[in-house]
Amino acid sequence: MKKYLLIGISAFAMGAGSMAYLSQQAAASATVQPRTKTYQMLELFGDVLDTVERQYVTQVDDTKLIQAAIDGMLTSLDPHSGYLDPESFDDMRDQTRGEYGGLGIEVTSEDGVVKVISPMDGTPAAEAGIKAGDYITAVNGESVLGMSVNDAVKEMRGKPGEAVTLTIAREKTDPFDVKVVREVIKPKSAVARLEGDYGYLRISSFNERTTEDAEAALAKIRAEDPKMKGLILDLRNNPGGLLDQAVGVADMFLDGGEIVSQRGRDPRDVERYNARPGDEAQGLKMVVLVNSGSASAAEIVAGALQDRKRAELVGLTTFGKGSVQTVIPLRGGMDGALKLTTARYYTPSGRSIQKTGITPDLEVASSREEAQAIANRAFQFSEASLRNALNADEGKVREGAHEPAEEPPESFDPKKDFQLVRAEDVLKYGSVAATPKMPKPTAKLAEITSPKVKGSEAPAVNK
């Protein structure tokens, strides 16, 4: 298509000789002005670097300064773009291969603070009780405030067997220290078990082995119970990962048709990913568990199965990361790599879930405390809470404070998983619509009533 477009433009130019000179002048003028401004700003950068080198109170490392400047330029675009120095690029490749040293947490940066997206199942961080939404303010007593995510991660990583102390800031609690022992992280991204008559498949992340692990786990439980009556796919607190693995997992349960599409800056630049014939679950009824920690690749799978009417979703609205990052090695990785947001992705029905997330078919809070936090609007951990996140589709906003549809009853055993129980109920009754609803939640919107004004009564304000 681009070749034909260029031929057409060339033909027009040849037939418009009388306009050629004026057109070239106008084009040259329009091009030179922005370039001149760019060159001026690059010269300014050089002047600043030179001044810092000569006048800063201590000697500086030019390489680190320039790398920090590159990272600052990229992170100003959106929270998911950034610069990876050679060491960080190697670490990222180890992580996507599914084996690396560290604590087992997915983190991002928010206003100069390191924020936990999700702890990974079975890792030191998860076992230490670190939660999605926690802020890491110091490592071994040294502040990481204002530090880039890459530098903070370097502080947390080290030799397996060594302990590291993280200072955690969590809502409604005083800052506290957590001691975590580093391990070689080999997270099995997919595990499965039987839950009565139903299969349960847990996918904790999307690395290079996820589809293979998920297929093996599903085959194992189907062999254990060939008469399995349904399947629960648990994507809660799954921070995402590789796009091709999300496509592979969704493909396991879809018999052809679109899974996801991605669109770049040019509206014509659309790439579609389709499922191959064959459903490995052989039409078993499915429920997908999601929450605000379900992000990126996890949302692609959930959105595809929901849009294609293959599964219903139970839990809470997802994180809302609807963008795609491309890792671009520099000099083959010798100079590190750029992690650059290059596209938005869309579910099969054409939804962009950027900032807004995917709304479950049955909203279920995992605890009464979580339900009240949602009603208080204290439960705000999402893409929309990141300061410079890409905008949502025009007119779309994430749902604010509200009373969730369901919460555990007072008599519910807190050691059990209420969201999982409700997913089993949906399978038992055949659909969300047919499942008996729980009593109205006790969670209420927090109200702040203004002082009464003499002679009138001020209205209550929901907040």
From the number of C-beta atoms within 10 Å of its C-beta (0-12, 13-18, 19+), residue 363 rates as: buried
Average pLDDT of the chain, as a whole number = 86
Superfamily of domain 190-429: 2-enoyl-CoA Hydratase; Chain A, domain 1 (3.90.226.10)
Banded model confidence at residue 57, pLDDT cuts 50, 70, 90: very high
Strand-pair category, 447-449 with 460-462: antiparallel
Query: In this structure, which amino acid lies at residue 81?
Result: S
Q: Which residues are catalytic?
A: 296, 307, 321
Q: What is the mean pLDDT of residues 18-23?
A: 36
User: Which residues share a beta bridge with 201?
Assistant: 192, 233
What does the block give as tokens for 424? 């089993």
pLDDT digits (tens, 9 = 90+) for 307-349: 999 999 999 999 999 999 999 999 999 999 999 999 999 999 9
Q: What's the CA gap between 347 and 258, in Å, rounded? A: 8
- Domain ranges in the chain with CATH number 2.30.42.10: 102-185
Q: What's the CA gap between 221 and 224, in Å, rounded? A: 5
Query: In this structure, which amino acid lies at residue 89?
Result: F
State the number of CA atoms in the 13 A half-sphere of 171 facing the CB.
14
Instruction: Fill in the DSSP letter of residue 157.
Output: -
pLDDT of residue 328: 95
Res 2 pLDDT > 50: no
Res 143 pLDDT > 50: yes
State pTM to two decimals.
0.74
pLDDT digits (tens, 9 = 90+) for 346-399: 999 999 999 999 999 999 999 999 999 899 887 677 999 888 999 988 788 999
pLDDT of residue 121: 79
Residue 49 and residue 60 in contact, taking contact as beta carbons nearer than 8 Å = no
| Nearest residue to 156 (alpha-carbon basis) of 176, 142, 171 | 142
pLDDT of residue 88: 86
CB atoms within 10 A of CB 450: 10
pLDDT of residue 3: 31
- Domain ranges in the chain with CATH number 3.90.226.10: 190-429
Q: What's the CA gap between 362 and 95, in Å, rounded? A: 33
CB atoms within 10 A of CB 387: 10
Superfamily of domain 102-185: PDZ domain (2.30.42.10)
E strands, 319-380, in order: 323-329, 337-346, 362-363
User: Which residues share a beta bridge with 258?
Assistant: 274
Q: Quick check: helix, strand or coil at residue 444?
A: coil
| Nearest residue to 274 (alpha-carbon basis) of 256, 286, 290, 288 | 256
- Angle among Cα 4, 5, 6 to the nearest 5 degrees reads 90
Q: What is the mean pLDDT of residues 397-419?
A: 92
Banded model confidence at residue 24, pLDDT cuts 50, 70, 90: very low
Banded model confidence at residue 33, pLDDT cuts 50, 70, 90: low
Res 461 pLDDT > 50: no
